Amino acid sequence: MKVDNSQVVREVDPRSFRDLLSLLVLVAVLVVGLVLYAWPHLELRQTGMATERMNREKERLIEQNRKLRLEKAALENLRRVEAIATRELGMATPAPERVIVVERPEAPAEDARLARAAAVVPKGEAKPAREKP
C-alpha cells in the first residue's frame, strides 16, 4: 500500500532554532575570544621582528658611516691629493714666475667713503655741481 505524504505539513520545532542560535552565539564568542587572545601576541611578535630589522639597519648604517668618515679623512689629506695629481694625472707644480696669487679685497670700513670716477663731460658743457655730504 502506498502512503501519500503530500498533504503532510511539517512544523518547525522552535527548540531546534533556539539550539542552533545558541550554538552560533557560542561559536562566535569562542572565535572573538581567540582573536582577542591571539592579536596582542601577534602584534608583539611583529614588533619584535621590526625591532630586530631596525637594529640590523642601524648597525649597517653605523658601519657605512665609519667607512665614509675614513674615506673623507683620506680624501682630505693634501699630501695624498698631491701624490694622486702628480702620479695619476700628470700634474706638476708650476714655475714661480707662472704662479698668480689672487686675493680678495678687504671690505672697506663702515665709515669710509669711496671715491667715484669723475664723469667725462664734453667741452663746452658745465660740470655737475659736486655733492656735499
Give the CA-trace dihedral at 100, 101, 104, 108, to 10 degrees.
-100
| CB-based contacts of 82-89 (< 8 A; 24+ apart in sequence) | none
Domain map (residue ranges) of the chain: 14-90
Distance (Å, whole) CA 38 – CA 128? 95
Three-state SS for 8? coil
Amino acid (one-letter) located at 115: A
Cell 642601524 found at: 58
pLDDT of residue 39: 94
Its pTM surpasses 0.85? no
Q: What is the pLDDT of residue 1?
A: 77
Residue 16, pLDDT score:
85
Read off the pLDDT band of 130 (50, 70, 90).
Answer: low
**What confidence score (pLDDT) does residue 131 get?**
52
More confident residue, 116 or 50: 50
Any residues with CB less than 8 A from the CB of 81 and at least 6 apart, and which?
75
pLDDT at 110: 79
Helix pair 78-87, 14-76: axis angle to 10 deg? 70
pLDDT digits (tens, 9 = 90+) for 14-57: 788 889 999 999 999 999 999 999 999 999 999 999 999 999 99
Each residue of 54-107: pLDDT tens digit? 999 999 999 999 999 999 988 888 888 888 889 988 998 889 888 888 887 788
Q: Of 118, 117, 114, 119, which is closest to residue 133 (Cα–Cα)?
A: 114
Comparing 77 with 124, the larger pLDDT belongs to: 77
pLDDT value for 48:
96
For 68, the grid coordinates are 665614509
